[in-house]
């Protein structure tokens, strides 16, 4: 199968910047220690929306998960970390296509909170047989692109480690069916389904 790459760098990059600037959520996540084993978590978003919060160990084991039942613009709760084993953790907030993460550690001297990091899911668009996507690669690690049909890999490519990655593919020669596109980088994996 021959895949033809379309040169869309200026168009897709401009679209990605416009999308990030106007369409994404801009949530704020604060974790403020109150004592050696308690912290207040405060979340604020521009619009009321449902969101997810989770706490993971540094190696990715889930310790806590909560999803809101109704849209909220503000959320505040005191978390008791007394039962957490001393070590390093990540507090995650997921609002639509935006993820805010904050490292923190728990030890005998208390709770120590690090800086927050914001990540955006890639932007995908499929129209008239053309797949366009853009991704802000904050970690600047190698990004891989794959296409699957019925869970069988039919195409793969390395897209590089640039901060802004945007590309386009002409999928008109693919036969009818269901496809899954995957972008992956540094343990992050994003999928997009296409029906031809």
Q: What is the CA radius of gyration of the chain?
A: 20
Residues 124, 132: Cα–Cα separation, whole Å: 6
* Contact criterion met (CB below 8 Å) for 62 and 90: no
Give pLDDT tens digits along the chain (196 positions).
Answer: 334 433 333 344 444 444 444 445 578 999 999 998 999 999 999 889 999 999 999 888 999 999 999 999 999 999 999 889 999 999 999 998 889 999 999 998 899 999 888 888 899 999 999 999 999 888 888 999 999 998 899 999 999 999 999 999 999 999 999 999 999 987 788 999 999 8
Residues 150, 172: Cα–Cα separation, whole Å: 18
Q: What domains appear along the chain, each with residue ranges and CATH number? A: 25-119 (2.60.40.1930), 122-195 (2.60.40)
pTM here? Answer: 0.69
């Amino acid at each position: 199968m021959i895949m033809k790459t379309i040169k869309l760098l200026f168009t897709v990059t401009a679209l990605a910047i416009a999308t990030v600037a106007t369409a994404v959520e801009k949530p704020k996540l604060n974790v403020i220690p109150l004592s050696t084993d308690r912290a207040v978590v405060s979340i604020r978003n521009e619009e009321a929306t449902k969101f997810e919060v989770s706490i993971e160990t540094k190696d990715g084991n889930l310790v806590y998960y909560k999803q809101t039942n109704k849209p909220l613009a503000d959320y505040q709760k005191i978390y008791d970390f007394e039962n957490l084993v001393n070590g390093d953790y990540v507090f995650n907030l997921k609002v639509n296509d935006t993820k805010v993460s904050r490292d923190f550690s728990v030890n005998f001297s208390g709770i120590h909170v690090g800086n927050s990091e914001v990540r955006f899911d890639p932007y995908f668009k499929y129209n008239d047989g053309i797949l366009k996507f853009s991704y802000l690669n904050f970690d600047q690690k190698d990004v891989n692109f794959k296409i699957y049909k019925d869970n069988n890999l039919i195409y793969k490519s390395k897209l590089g480690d640039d901060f802004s990655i945007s590309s386009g593919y002409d999928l008109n020669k693919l036969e009818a069916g269901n496809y899954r596109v995957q972008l992956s980088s540094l343990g992050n994996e994003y999928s997009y389904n296409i029906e031809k």
